[in-house]
Structure 1
Amino acid sequence: MPKKPTNAPVQKNERIDVTFLDLTHEGMGVAKVDGYPIFVPDALPGEEADVKVVKTVKNYGFGRLMKRHVESEQRVDPPCPIYHWCGGCQLQHMNQDAQLHLKREQVVNALHKYMGRDDIPVHETIGMDEPWAYRNKAQVPVAERDGELIAGFYAKRSHHIVDMDHCLIQGDQNDAAIQVVKNIMKRYKIKPYEEASGRGVIRHIVARSGRLSGEVMVMLVTNGEELPHKKKIVEDIRQEVSGIHSIVQNINPKKTNVIYGERTEILWGETYIEERIGKLRFALSPRSFFQVNPVQTEALYQKVLEYAELRGNETVIDAYCGIGSISLFLADEVKKVYGVEVVGEAIRDARKNAKLNGIANVEFSVGKAEEVVPWWRAALGIQADVIVVDPPRKGCDEKLLQTMIEMQPERIVYASCNPATLARDLRILADGGYDVKEVQPVDMFPQTTHIECVVSIRRKDM
């Protein structure tokens, strides 16, 4: 029998009765035995259950729910038949109000942990009227099982693919396109990529759609240039995928978990599809980053606009600008917007999108925000009245935060997809002379644990 870890009052394989007190940010139930936390999937606060301990380390353990004695009023039956295996969603067993409350609490808890603040107003999470079929992009890995090609999302905490015939959070066009292409791959006996050996052809099937345009892009991510029966596959996709506008091959020969390779070739159709947010049109190229929930993106951007408090004469810097979506959303309300993004392809798309919408008062540059923004200030004398940041999950680079503090804009608007790194960065800005005024969570990813939020930040002397 393995030794019991120091401070652990339970052992692996032990059966215990517990009451769940809380949820982790990953959606697992939290119970405690003599102060020792046990994390258990598919458990909700207030529920009582018989749990089997499956793993223990020094400061916490994991369990498997064996029998539920008391059920939470927040519990609902997940409508997805593969929910308990698939890792794509984590919260389908919670009702929508409970999900929105949980996501707000993530933000509140992060502000308390990293800033020591409980006084910052955090508004109720903005949810969706219909929190299903919202995603405009699906990236689905493929594999082989019992000689058959399968395609689906990874199982929870594993690299094991759960075969999927239908996904309830994908937009209907994406969902249908994935299944059609999956069947075409089977038809021509295209071998799936094997991670262990590095052999095989097809790695991922990607479908992207424009909610209002109805245009669909299909991308085949392959292990090399060769795609057997390429012409027939392209023709079948053209005939069988409703709304098809573009068919693309991305070549990724590296033995890696990274989805995309550096080379992308158009096999048929246009180089981009169109999406709309509000009155703006966006051309989405194969690897463009764009928010996957266009309905909630508009809600998020409206809140960015509100918190920017624009009067029409401001100079705005949009760091981490991507394809220019926030920059263009703000452009009508300001004198000038400068956007910066490290991905050159995204900046090309940003410039294309500015032309597509007839917007001339924006300027985009390629580079790291933490390098370009200081250069703008030192070499060009650019002084921002408002700075907007929408960084990746790791948050803002500390050099950029210090530059923002030195530039002393009147207002900063921070859009975040990670409450922990957000709160860390807010503490730096607060120490640098800024007040965090309010926070608005937005549920961009219903049925999952992820949360986006927008923060209003003002210089303390304003």
Structure 2
Amino acid sequence: MSKRAPVKKNDFIEEATFEDLTHDGNGVTKVEGYPLFVPDALPEEKGTVKVVKASKGYGFGKLMERTKESPKRQDPPCPIYHECGGCQIQHLTYEGQLEFKEKHVREVMTRIGKLDNIKVHPTLGMEEPWRYRNKAQVPVGEKDGRFVAGFYQKRSHEIIDMDKCIVQFEKNDEVIQHVKAICERLGIQPYDEANHRGTLRHIMTRTAYETGEVMVVLVTRTAKLPHKEKIVEELVKSIDGLKSVIQNVNSKKTNVIMGDETHVLWGQEVIYDYIGNIKFAISARSFYQVNPEQTRVLYEKALEYADLNGEETVIDAYCGIGTISLFLAQKAKKVYGVEIVPQAIDDAKNNAKLNEMNNVEFEVGPAEVVIPNWYEQGIQADVLVVDPPRKGCDEALLNTILSMRPKKVVYVSCNPSTLARDLRILEDGGYETLEVQPVDMFPQTMHVECVSQLILKG
């Protein structure tokens, strides 16, 4: 017989003690081992909790009164923090955020990877953990007859109208307000998600960190954009540094932001930015890290762990637009990059040309298919770098690494749980994990990136 939950809806838990945070920033308290997830509660805090939902394995609660406050609690500086779902831990001091991320990485290494003695370093954070995002994309809609653009309210598709977001570049805030005002003045119909009507779905903007170049992308439901020329004229007049105005058409009833059809309305197809000494061309649909300051920290750590002397052959699996590949090519004899997205490989090849780097080659396809083909052709990697999506490395790629046996593996990860799982597989296959370095790419959120260094035993 299945065990019943020790609490039910509307129960009150007195002096509940919070011991952890969930992936979405809720406090965790336990009743006879049964976890309750409670918004706006931090580890080390106590309070009275009302149970609002109780399923078999876990429940949700509401904090009615806080009787003990964490020394790491702070007032969130964002006025819409409690409504918006963009950040999860603005109420935790930045020092507390960095400590929590290190602890989280350490815990998953032990719990999932069974890697008890692994060296996990303190999280590399930012001096100024605000205004770090170089890209903003906001949904557009109508509320009480007004044109609104902002972020979705937590767990809903209700748009919170906003004029600034304190984790975005200030320039992006300014650009979005200009686009919003121009489109409202010209009577551009905002998208109605429920009825799949209207024209403008999303406003996206990118601002290059080093060059200051600005791109505006208007994501529309229809290919026809009324007053197109007038919109462009007003944008060019009002935005300093504007280099590119793009229209992307997404006619599908979907939550995916971008569609397949893209047109340049004015200016360049790309804007340019630098990470370190390397120049990148960034298109409307390019994947490019949103925190340029910490991207450099992350890639320099990957380069340090690769420990190149100029004689090595390096393979970069999941190479994207070639960001890590080109960083490695500065110090390696030869770099091969593979990526499943054709557009990304086109961008990577263009970025190699842009930097006059002739010691790097890119191929499109699944890493687990392309890399064994290279191996059969006699391409043997001294160092293999992986930077997979959140789900981690494909099992076939891990098996390829274990067959190929490069001397070093550098694993860049955006999900500590799948990283720990994959490190366990590589350890069992003959590798030793020397260290893991967490990097805070997304301050005020629960996300943490890691770079890990592995060497082949013996």
Aligned partners of 1:25 and 1:106 also within 8 Å: no
Residue aligning to 1:363 = 361
Query: Structure 1: how far apart are the matches of 2:419 and 2:211?
Result: 34
Distance apart, 1:110 and its partner CA: 1.4
Residue aligning to 2:197 = 199
User: Which of residues 307, 310, 313 is equivalent to 1:312?
Assistant: 310
Report how many residues are paired.
Answer: 456
In structure 1, the residue corresponding to 2:127 is in which secondary structure?
coil
Q: Deviations over 1:71-118 (max 9, x none)?
A: 111001110000001011011001011000111122112111211122
Which deviates further from its counterpart, 12-21 or 333-342? 12-21
User: Which of residues 5, 21, 27 is equivalent to 1:8?
Assistant: 5
Residue aligning to 2:457 = 460
Residue aligning to 2:247 = 249
Paired-residue identity, %? 61
Query: Structure 2: how far apart are the matches of 1:229 and 1:66?
Result: 52
Query: Structure 2: how far apart are the matches of 1:37 and 1:43?
Result: 14
Residue aligning to 2:74 = 76
Distance apart, 1:26 and its partner CA: 2.1
Structure 1 stretches of 4+ with a deviation exceeding 4 A read: none
Distance apart, 1:15 and its partner CA: 2.5
Is there any run of 5+ residues in structure 1 with no aligned partner, and where? Answer: none
Q: Deviations over 1:3-35 (max 9, x none)?
A: xx9521221122322121111232110111122
Distance apart, 1:357 and its partner CA: 1.1
Residue aligning to 2:153 = 155
Which deviates further from its counterpart, 412-421 or 150-159? 150-159
Query: Structure 2: how far apart are the matches of 1:155 and 1:343?
Result: 32
User: Which of residues 402, 411, 414 is equivalent to 1:405?
Assistant: 402
User: Which of residues 138, 141, 144 is equivalent to 1:140?
Assistant: 138
Which deviates further from its counterpart, 361-370 or 65-74? 65-74
Distance apart, 1:195 and its partner CA: 2.2
Query: Structure 2: how far apart are the matches of 1:6 and 1:202?
Result: 51
User: Which of residues 168, 171, 176 is equivalent to 2:169?
Assistant: 171
Residue aligning to 2:393 = 396
1:431 is aligned to 2:436: no
Distance apart, 1:138 and its partner CA: 0.7
Amino acid at match of 1:94: L
Query: Structure 2: how far apart are the matches of 1:158 and 1:15?
Result: 27
Amino acid at match of 1:355: K
Residue aligning to 2:230 = 232
Which deviates further from its counterpart, 140-149 or 127-136? 140-149
Aligned partners of 1:177 and 1:242 also within 8 Å: no
**What are the equivalent positions in structure 2 for 1:41-440 lying under 5 Å apart?**
41-378=39-376, 380-440=377-437
Aligned partners of 2:134 and 2:207 also within 8 Å: yes
Amino acid at match of 2:66: R
In structure 2, the residue corresponding to 1:204 is in which secondary structure?
strand
Distance apart, 1:183 and its partner CA: 1.6
Amino acid at match of 1:71: E
Distance apart, 1:255 and its partner CA: 0.8
Residue aligning to 2:444 = 447
In structure 2, the residue corresponding to 1:401 is in which secondary structure?
helix
Query: Structure 1: how far apart are the matches of 2:194 and 2:424?
Result: 43
Distance apart, 1:159 and its partner CA: 2.3
Q: Deviations over 1:57-79 (max 9, x none)?
A: 11111112222222111001110
Tell me how large the CA RMSD over aligned residues is: 1.2
In structure 2, the residue corresponding to 1:106 is in which secondary structure?
helix
Distance apart, 1:37 and its partner CA: 0.9
Query: Structure 1: how far apart are the matches of 2:202 and 2:391?
Result: 25
Amino acid at match of 1:98: G
TM-score (normalised: structure 1): 0.97
Query: Structure 1: how far apart are the matches of 2:316 and 2:156?
Result: 37
TM-score (normalised: structure 2): 0.98
Aligned partners of 2:294 and 2:441 also within 8 Å: yes
Distance apart, 1:215 and its partner CA: 0.3
Q: Deviations over 1:329-354 (max 9, x none)?
A: 01121110000111111111111111
Amino acid at match of 1:262: D
Which deviates further from its counterpart, 20-29 or 434-443? 20-29
Query: Structure 2: how far apart are the matches of 1:250 and 1:19?
Result: 49
